[in-house]
Amino acid sequence: MASSASFTSPLCTWLVAACMSFTCERDPQQLPVLRPCHSSSKRLSRRRKIVSKYCGGGGQLNLNGSLVSSFCGSSIQGLMSSCLAFEPCNEYYSSKGSISSLGFFSDNALSSFFGSKNYRQLGEAMAVAVQPAKEVATKKKPHTKQRRVVVTGMGVETPLGHDPDVFYNNLLEGVSGISEIERFDCANFPTRIAGEIKSYSTDGWVAPKLSKRMDKFMLYMLTAGKKALADGGITEDVMNELDKARCGVLIGSAMGGMKVFNDAIEALRISYRKMNPFCVPFATTNMGSAMLAMDLGWMGPNYSISTACATSNFCILNAANHIIRGEADVMLCGGSDAAIIPIGLGGFVACRALSQRNNDPTKASRPWDINRDGFVMGEGSGVLLLEELEHAKKRGANIYAEFLGGSFTCDAYHMTEPRPDGVGVILCIEKALAQSGVSREDVNYINAHATSTPAGDIKEFQALIHCFGQNPELRVNSTKSMIGHLLGASGAVEAIAAVQAIRTGWVHPNINLENPDEGVDTGVLVGPKKERLEVKAALSNSFGFGGHNSSIIFAPYK
């Protein structure tokens, strides 16, 4: 009884406060009265006494104009009905709504709240609400012009270069960054190739002490992030002028610090005393984003999203939304991964996901080609500097492109396989178009997810044709044909490729597309050489294990 009372009292207090705060705003004479349904005056009197008892006072509970939800069929029914001075009507008991849709009172929430799963199945619920007057709603949330988001800086660490221009020029020339793995002996693996970064330095970007301790996914993220700032003209003087409470970092990782964690396990075989004291924080996917924010002193939104190979797109869209909602003016966003280590390679080999074309590495990644036999692992990082338009103009920033919007959906089908009907991808693309206000005809360039897997390439292509098949100007390519699959970093690196296409007016080729799959219309695919294209709107897709779908859209700034 003591625990029940301790819960009931604050709940009733909240209900009374909610009722009073609403009724105080308007004339009680103008409000409709919520009347009891089929309840006797005795019952009302009794329940008013109970309200007085549990709410800690003798005041009456004013129900005029309040928002009330009632619950039945569980232990919470008595609790709620004790606090409310009316009986639910018959229509309530026949309501079709499910209580689980209310979130807080779902099965899991109740289980964790009461510490037990031994409660009866929750019944149905009906909410009775009074709509506030139009002028009240306007006062609470005034209409404001939507803030526009632009790209003002880019930073990369890839197998094809550590500068956005070098990286994109190599893509335009059809250079492959895939080769034999040199970092460790993989002679016993059926796959011995990857998009490995051969030369990398943190000099001038990361303190030597941290550089020795951090996992590479963090180092790639830190250097790419700082390069994006430098590319965006955020000098030390500009940095001092920024409101750091309105600057944030949202950079994710699919795999996190696998090397740090694996080394800790090996050390534990000897003794826990041999373990790196930073093994836990440096293995988590959020720590790179957090360390970058600490380095910059940025106190705005800071976290990491991990949705497998769709990670970067999720981070980019959420970062843009922080700016649109007025929660930030500047955001660093993207993704980073460094999983080319024995456990990473072995894990994907066990999934039977990787190409085994070891004798000809540069030909191994071949999206849409009939002889594709799996994707090629890559590593690196891509970071975009997103900025609110007026903020960027005020400081005289160079604007590369405008971010228009995007969308997420879930296949809800299989851990690694795409839906056979492609509905999840189609829905994602259509929602992205609707959210960004872009018509199908305006999208004339798509940087596809296209990883070089048998099922994934075809299903995505079919979805693209379903959505854009009537557009004669459409051109589609896959950056992964040259750098492999950078996992959680792929979306950001490909978004940078899309922005570079907008900037330069050139789209890069699809290499290794020698024998197109019979289900592919080569008329929409970029050929083996770069092509001139005036991009109206560019869409970039990323999909991840778990059925995560994401589409984001960029366009020239006008």
37 is catalytic: no
Residue type, 282: F
Residue 82, C-beta contacts closer than 8 angstroms, at least 6 positions apart: 8, 47, 50, 51, 54
Cα(166)–Cα(333) distance, rounded to whole angstroms? 21
DSSP calls for 260-321: HHHHHHHHHTT-GGGS-TTTTTTTSTTHHHHHHHHHHT--S-EE---BTBTHHHHHHHHHHH
Cα(66)–Cα(25) distance, rounded to whole angstroms? 12
Residue 25, C-beta contacts closer than 8 angstroms, at least 6 positions apart: 136
Sign of CA dihedral 96, 101, 104, 105: positive
Active-site choice (55, 279, 309, 467): 309
162 is catalytic: no
Active-site choice (322, 391, 485, 508): 485
**Whether the Cβ atoms of residue 495 and residue 401 lie closer than 8 Å to each other:** no
Token digits of residue 25: 């705003």
Angle at 444 between CA 439 and CA 446, to 5 degrees: 105
**Whether the Cβ atoms of residue 126 and residue 451 lie closer than 8 Å to each other:** no
322 is catalytic: no
Residue 372, C-beta contacts closer than 8 angstroms, at least 6 positions apart: 355, 366, 452, 453, 454, 457
Strand pairing partners for 68? 128
Active-site choice (162, 449, 508, 548): 449
Angle at 250 between CA 244 and CA 425, to 5 degrees: 145
Instruction: Kindly list the catalytic residues.
Output: 309, 449, 485
